[in-house]
């Protein structure tokens, strides 16, 4: 299974990754990725930030897994915790920075 959100960022999905998509049994797409052509598309419900994803089996919503994606803490993250019984959280904590926003991180930090 592949969770795909930023397919238009070459640093997130390079050429070999695109090739791999065709062999994946299931691809869950988010945001703009859900509107672009891709192997085996299956869009998910929208979250406030397009990289954040909550998944759970239809028959076991109490087993929800939260993938933070490339986001920082904001009220929307707390909203996810209020709306879903998160059992597991996978947090992307790379502290990504770009000159355009100065010293502020674009992703969560440890």
Burial call 78-101: b when 16+ CB within 10 Å, e when fewer: eebeeebeeeeeeeeeeeeeeeee
- How far are the Cα atoms of 30, 32, 45, 99 from residue 7, in angstroms, in the given order? 9, 8, 17, 22
pLDDT band at residue 22 under the 50/70/90 scheme: confident
For the chain, what percent of residues have pLDDT higher than 90? 6
Alpha-carbon gap, residue 39 to 18, rounded angstroms: 9
Instruction: Name the residue ranges covered by the structural domains of the chain.
Output: 1-45, 47-110
Check residue 85 and give its pLDDT.
92
- How far are the Cα atoms of 3, 11, 85, 87, 90 from residue 6, in angstroms, in the given order? 10, 9, 25, 25, 17
More confident residue, 44 or 8: 8
Q: Is the model's pTM score more than 0.75?
A: no
Q: Across all residues in the chain, what is the average pLDDT?
A: 78
Per-residue pLDDT of 61-98, as tens digits, reads 898 999 887 788 888 888 888 999 999 999 888 888 88
- Of 13-22, 31-40, 51-60, 86-95, the one with minimum mean pLDDT is 31-40
Alpha-carbon gap, residue 94 to 106, rounded angstroms: 9
**Strand pairing report for 53-55 and 27-29:** unpaired
């Amino acid at each position: 299974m592949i969770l795909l959100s930023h397919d238009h960022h070459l640093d997130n999905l390079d050429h070999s990754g695109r090739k791999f998509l065709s062999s994946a049994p299931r691809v869950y797409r988010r945001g703009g990725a859900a509107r672009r052509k891709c192997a085996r598309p299956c869009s998910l419900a929208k979250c406030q930030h397009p990289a954040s994803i909550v998944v759970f089996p239809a028959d076991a919503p109490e087993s929800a897994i939260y993938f933070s994606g490339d986001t920082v803490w904001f009220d929307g993250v707390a909203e996810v915790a209020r709306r879903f019984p998160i059992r597991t959280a996978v947090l992307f904590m790379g502290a990504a920075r770009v000159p355009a926003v100065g010293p502020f991180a674009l992703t969560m930090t440890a």
